[in-house]
Amino acid sequence: MRILEICRRGLAFFEMMLLALVMALAAPATAQQPATPVNDRTAHEVASQLRCVVCQNLSVADSPSEMATQMRVIVRERLAAGDRPDQVIQYFVDRYGEWILLAPRRHGFTLLVWLFPVVVVIVGLGATVLVVRRWTRRANVERARPAAVDPSMRERIRREMETEP
């Protein structure tokens, strides 16, 4: 029985060693695999925010060019390496500047691009309301005031009324 126990322990030890060996051997192989599974939608969202550098106003996601294809591969590789979408975008911004972004960022100087149209719309609406109010007020005043009738015209009307059978 004791021999059997020793054999069993030896076997368990051997199994553990074998498992450790397999894991050690498998480690470099798994390191080559994507560390994080890449979500297609995430990769597409990142690519759709980036400008295709060889196109006119097309995103990396939409362009059929070779350069855009290569950039899409880089996006997927970086996401697979564990980068967050904003880190992948920053990777391209570091190399191309904010020009690579199809939509300017909402801070700093480029915030003006986002705010300016809103300000213009508000000012335009305000101006329209003021002008319309002024027009309606003027129209009301003119309606309230009886139209001035020329005395000669009044005399003529009176005469015609009297001669009317």
Partner 1 sequence: MKRAWRWLIPLSVVPMLALLAYGFRLNPRDVPSPLIGRPASVFTLNTVEGTSVSLEAHRGAVVVVNFWASWCRPACYEEAPVLERAWRAYQDRGLVLIGVDIQDTPDAARQFINDFSLSFPNVRDVTGKVSVDYGVYGVPETFFLDRRGRIRAKHVGAVSEEIFRQHVERLLGEPA
**Least distance (Å) between residue 55 CB and partner 1:** 10
Is position 71 an interface residue for partner 1 (rule: CB under 8 A)?
yes
Is position 81 an interface residue for partner 1 (rule: CB under 8 A)?
no
For partner 1, which is the closer residue by CB, 13 or 96? 96
Q: Which residues does 34 contact at the CB level (< 8 Å), separation at least 6?
A: 80, 81
For partner 1, which is the closer residue by CB, 42 or 65? 65
49-68: contacts with partner 1 (CB under 8 A): 53-54, 66-67
The greatest distance separating any two alpha carbons of the chain, rounded to the nearest whole angstrom, comes to: 147
CA-atom Rg of the chain in angstroms: 40
Burial (CB count within 10 angstroms: exposed 0-12, middle 13-18, buried 19+), residue 68: buried
Query: Is 100 in contact with 54 (CB distance < 8 Å)?
Result: no
Is position 73 an interface residue for partner 1 (rule: CB under 8 A)?
yes
Is position 92 an interface residue for partner 1 (rule: CB under 8 A)?
yes
Q: Which residues does 59 contact at the CB level (< 8 Å), separation at least 6?
A: 47, 48, 49, 50, 51, 52, 102
Is position 96 an interface residue for partner 1 (rule: CB under 8 A)?
yes
Phi, psi angles (nearest 5°) of residue 34: -55, 130
Range in contact with partner 1 (rule: CB under 8 A) among 27-35, 86-94, 139-147, 151-159:
86-94
Per-residue mark of binding to partner 1, 106-145 (x: CB under 8 A)? ----------------------------------------
CA distances in angstroms from 140 to 126, 128, 133, 134, listed in the order given: 21, 18, 11, 10
Is position 89 an interface residue for partner 1 (rule: CB under 8 A)?
no
Q: Which residues are at the interface with partner 1 (CB under 8 A)?
A: 53-54, 66-67, 70-71, 73-74, 92-97, 99
